[in-house]
Structures are given as C-alpha cells and as structure tokens.
Amino acid sequence: MYFVSTRGEEKVTAPEAIVRGMANGGGLFVPEKFPQVTGEELEEMLSFDYPERAAYLLGKYFDEYEREGLTAALRAAYSKFEGDDPAPLVRMDNGMYILELFHGPTCAFKDMALGVLPYLLREGCSFLGIREKVLILAATSGDTGKAALEAFAGEEGVKIAVFYPEDGVSKMQKLQMSTQDGENVDVVAVRGNFDDCQNGVKKIFRSEKCNAAIKEKGYLLTSANSINIGRLIPQVCYYFSAYLDLVSANQIKMGEKVDFCVPTGNFGNILAGYYAKRMGLPVGTLLCASNKNNVLSDFFRTGKYDSKRPFYPTMSPSMDILISSNLERLVFEASGRDPSLTAERMKMLSTTGRYALRSEEISALQSQFYASFASEDDTVECIYEFFEEYGYPMDTHTGVAMDVAQKYLQKVEEDTMSEKRPMVVLSTASPYKCPQDVLYALTGNDVKDSFKGVKRIHLLTAMKVPEAIKSVRYKPIRFKTTLSPDKMFDEIKKFLG
Ligand SMILES: *Cc1c(COP(=O)(O)O)cnc(C)c1O
C-alpha cells in the first residue's frame, strides 16, 4: 500500500510515511485507497483476540511489515495494559455501550496507538536503511505527551521532546509528564495554549534550517502526533474490535450498523472511525463531540472552518483545540481527493484562520457525521447523573461525549425519520486522570490536591486506582523548564547536545 500527500503529488511506502511523519509542504500522508474488509473476514476475526485483530488490520495498510512481527509487537504493547482486554466494551443499563480505551500505561486512549509506534518506526528505519538516530517531537494537550514518553523512554537511538501548554493540562497530566524516567526524554512547558505548541512543532518540521541543524547532529526528525499515519491507523482497530465484540456478545447481528460517539480534539480518533467505515465496517453515524471550544460543531453545521474565536480552557483539556490537524485528511476526502484544493484551504487556514467547503462537500459530510458540543455545566451534570443512575464514573472527556450522545439519541427519538441504532461511546481517559474535576462533578466538592481527589473518587466509586496513577505520587519532578514558543528550537538544540 502506498501513501499520498493531502497537499501534493507525493507517493511513498508505509515505512517512509511513518518515519517521515509528515509530507512535504505540511501535507499529511493518507492511504492511496482504503483497503476493504469483507463480511467473511469479519466473521474470521471474531475468534481473534485484540492483538490478532489489530495485526490483521494493520497488515492491510502496512504490508511491508510481517504479520508475525506486528502481532508480537502489538501483544507486547497491550501486555502493559491492566486487565486481559485492552479495549473492553461495557454495557450500560440504558442500552448504551462504553468502549474503555484507558487501561494502558498512561490511562488515556493514546496508549492504544503509541504502544506500537516504536516498533513501526524501528522497523521502518531498518527497511529504509536509515542509520541516523531519530528525534521525535510531540506537541501535547496532555495525554499524547505522556503516552509518547512512556512508549519511547529508553528506546535505543531515539530522543523524544514533548511540549505542552503551561496552563493547558490537568495537574495530574503535568505530574505524569514531569516525573518521566529515561535519559532520552525532554519535557517542556510552553507559554501559550495547545495550538501554540502544535504550531511551534509544525514550524520546526517545515523549516529547512531546523531540519538541517538536526541532521547535522546526526538525527532524523519525526512526529508522534496523530499527524503521523503510524499513530492513526492503529486507532482504526478498536472500532472493528468493538463491533466484533458486539456481535460475539449477541448484542447485534453481523452487518447491522452501529453509531460511535467520540470526544474530539485534533480529530485523530474520530477520523480512525471514518477510516473503519470506509474499509467496510458497518458504521452508521459518527458523532463528533466537542467541548466549549466548538469549532468542529460549527464546521459540520456550516461548512466553514473558523479558528478565529476565543479559546476557552476547560475541564476536558485534551479537547481544547482550535486548529484540528486531522480534519485536513477528511477535507481531502470531501474534496474528492484534490491535493491542490486542500493545499489552498490549509494555506487559507494558516493565513486567515478560516476556510470553507463547497455546499455539496459539506452536505456529503453531514450525512455521515453528527456534531455537537457540551458546555462545562452539561459535562458536570452528565457525569453526575450517569453515576447516580448507573453507578458508572467517567472522566471529563468521556462526559462531553456522553452528553452529546444523549442529545443525539433525544433528537433521533423525536425525529421519526431517523433510525435508532446501537450507540458506542468511546471513553478516552480514566476518571483518575483529571481527579479534581471528576470529584467536583460527582460531589460538588473542590479539592486542591490531585491525590486527595483520587482517594475521594475511589472511596465513592470503588473503582480501582491504576498503578500508573499511584506510582507518580512519590516520584521526583525531573523537568521544570518553561519557554515562550519562539524558544522551542533552542531547547531542542540544547537537548541534542
Ligand atoms: C487526545 C484526547 C482526546 C481527543 O482526541 P483526538 O484524536 O485529538 O480528537 C479526547 N480525550 C482524551 C482523554 C484525549 O487524550
């Protein structure tokens, strides 16, 4: 399978797309076409466990990689998860399903893909005969950073630097990152929001001067963000696996359509659901749930992307994003895969902060996606009520998605033309990752200390506290640097030595 750029006439192999992370001129790599999964293949996959299902699906995109190697790498990655199933599906008493993607080593869904990225990168380099060491840069709204650090810490021939917005992550997320072990890691706070971090990283990627300076130090630059196709494709697998689990548990018949509701920020997770649908998975509507930073719900309503608006820090910080990078891949599909039109739109976005789709493009997207948002109050109320009614505690990001899913089901209920389908809500983080906000939602109580929050949530819900959360409590803080965005490259030079 080849990969093409959303913005130009490039065509590369999977190892090259993964190792480079980004195409020329800021474009993103996308599969040349969507590999298909037939009904028979779905039947066959029913008996597979998660790593086998994932290896089977990844193999369709990354055919240079051997299936056994992939299976072994995936098995190793998911062996670090708590419990036997890395992506369990939980049925709620109201008939909804929650897909728990937070049982990995950093308690957020980013572990699902980042656990296997080191293997994809290592093998990719060896296919391409690359001898240089690799420098990974990641901008993070909190969870990618920690998951990438955990995945690459101690990895031979790799250095990784993570940039996060100084005040844009939860205390627990900050603590998880700043206590990270490993001699090959660097963690830096940036004065600004996530978009400033992401733009800073993208600028370094695009700058010939920076690339040359990095090369001179013997490193090749790549990305662990969901702009890297090696991050995105592993996320396709849990949509398939959740579907197969529903069939196995006799909740649906094979071929029946299912809706998925996804708490969305950079549009990587939900895009993977769209890819799954394009591969033939029976998906009905994809629900794009935003928080108060509702640039995406406006986009799906109007066809106009407008990032020029106030930025609100919320209790779901991993979704506090105004420039949603992976939307470019969807816009590319909507344009009929037109790289020059996509390049033009992305240029508009970077110069004016805005771009617009043609009306037929947006109506085609509206038939596949439903987008809405939850205010802070909606989120708190949803978390509270869900725990009261069903005894199920969820984190703030999942709370946003659950609120939007309920709004959608309400709408379907009222509209006799709409079809009611089984609903799977993706749960992207453990409630212990933003303990103060979750405790506030559950009880109305504020606590200053994260671990007090953890303890109170545990007493209230009896939900097990993950090792990953317990272990950061007594670890020394290793990283204290805070910089302005224009100093990011200086930090990298220092880090490379
Ligand atoms: C990253 C993240 C999101 C947003 O996912 P995208 O792929 O960026 O849309 C939602 N919730 C949590 C907990 C996250 O870490």
CA of 418 to the centre of ligand 1 (A): 28
Statement: the pTM of the whole predicted model exceeds 0.75 = yes
* Confidence label for 165 from pLDDT (cuts 50, 70 and 90): very high
d(CA 34, CA 21): 19
Cα–Cα distances (Å) from 219 to 74, 207, 346, 389, 488, in that order, read 26, 15, 28, 54, 17
- Domain ranges (residues) in the chain: 91-104+235-472
Reply yes or no on whether the pLDDT at 202 is more than 90.
no
Crossing angle of the two packed helices 435-443 and 450-461, in degrees rounded to 10: 50
What is the arithmetic mean of pLDDT over 160-166? 96
Reply yes or no on whether the pLDDT at 439 is more than 90.
yes
Q: Which two tokens stand for residue 453?
A: 């929050």
- Neighbour tally for 208: CB within 10 Å: 7
Instruction: Output the average pLDDT for the chain.
Output: 96
Angle at 171 between CA 101 and CA 457, to 5 degrees: 60
For 353, phi then psi, to 5°, come to 80, 5
d(CA 416, CA 421): 13
Cα–Cα nearest to 120, from 231, 23, 35, 218: 231
- Residue 70 CA, distance from chain mean position: 21
* Confidence label for 374 from pLDDT (cuts 50, 70 and 90): very high
Cα–Cα nearest to 4, from 19, 204, 24, 137: 24
DSSP-assigned beta bridge partners for residue 283:
258
CA of 141 to the centre of ligand 1 (A): 8
Return the best residue to mutate from 28, 99, 109 for the ligand 1 pocket (most ligand atoms within 8 A of CB).
Answer: 109
Rg (CA), the chain: 21
Reply yes or no on whether the pLDDT at 258 is more than 90.
yes
CA of 218 to the centre of ligand 1 (A): 33
CA of 380 to the centre of ligand 1 (A): 18
Q: Read off the DSSP letter of residue 419.
A: P
Return the best residue to mutate from 318, 394, 400 for the ligand 1 pocket (most ligand atoms within 8 A of CB).
Answer: 318
The per-residue pLDDT for 391 is 96
What is the arithmetic mean of pLDDT over 79-100? 96
Reply yes or no on whether the pLDDT at 385 is more than 90.
yes
What is the arithmetic mean of pLDDT over 149-176? 94
CA of 265 to the centre of ligand 1 (A): 5
Annotate 189-253 with DSSP letters as a single string: EESS-HHHHHHHHHHHHH-HHHHHHHHHTTEEEEE-STTSHHHHHHHHHHHHHHHHHHHHTTSS-
Cα–Cα nearest to 111, from 152, 71, 156: 152
pLDDT single digits (tens) 36-56: 999 999 999 999 999 999 999
pLDDT single digits (tens) 326-343: 999 999 999 999 999 999
Reply yes or no on whether the pLDDT at 28 is more than 90.
yes
Reply yes or no on whether the pLDDT at 225 is more than 90.
no
Cα–Cα nearest to 184, from 126, 115, 136, 130: 136
What is the arithmetic mean of pLDDT over 140-146? 90
d(CA 140, CA 318): 8
- Residue 237 CA, distance from chain mean position: 13
| Amino acid identity, position 105 | P
What is the arithmetic mean of pLDDT over 393-408? 98
d(CA 30, CA 226): 12
What are the pocket residues of ligand 1 if the criterion is a CB atom closer than 6 Å to any ligand atom? 108, 110, 143, 226, 263-269, 318-319, 397, 428-429
Contact between 331 and 28 under an 8 Å Cβ cutoff? The reply is no
What is the arithmetic mean of pLDDT over 182-195? 95
Give percent of the chain with pLDDT exceeding 90. 93
Domain 91-104+235-472 has CATH 3.40.50.1100: yes
The per-residue pLDDT for 70 is 97
- Is residue 298 classed exposed, middle or buried when 0-12, 13-18 and 19+ CB atoms within 10 A define those classes? middle
pLDDT single digits (tens) 456-489: 999 999 999 999 999 999 999 999 999 999 999 9
User: Which residues contact residue 49 at a Cβ distance below 8 angstroms, ignoring those fewer than 6 apart?
Assistant: none
Reply yes or no on whether the pLDDT at 307 is more than 90.
yes
What is the arithmetic mean of pLDDT over 221-236? 94
Candidate from 102-111, 201-210, 254-263 with smallest mean pLDDT: 201-210
The per-residue pLDDT for 482 is 96
For 127, phi then psi, to 5°, come to -55, -40
Q: Read off the DSSP letter of residue 392.
A: -
pLDDT single digits (tens) 2-25: 999 999 999 999 999 999 999 988
Ligand 1, residue 110: give the atom nearest the CA.
Answer: 15
DSSP-assigned beta bridge partners for residue 427:
100
| Amino acid identity, position 165 | P
Atom 8, ligand 1: residue with shortest CA distance: 266
Candidate from 93-97, 194-198, 310-314 with smallest mean pLDDT: 194-198
* Confidence label for 273 from pLDDT (cuts 50, 70 and 90): very high
CA of 494 to the centre of ligand 1 (A): 30
CA of 40 to the centre of ligand 1 (A): 32
CA of 269 to the centre of ligand 1 (A): 7
d(CA 13, CA 483): 37
d(CA 193, CA 58): 33
Return the best residue to mutate from 264, 286, 288, 329 for the ligand 1 pocket (most ligand atoms within 8 A of CB).
Answer: 264
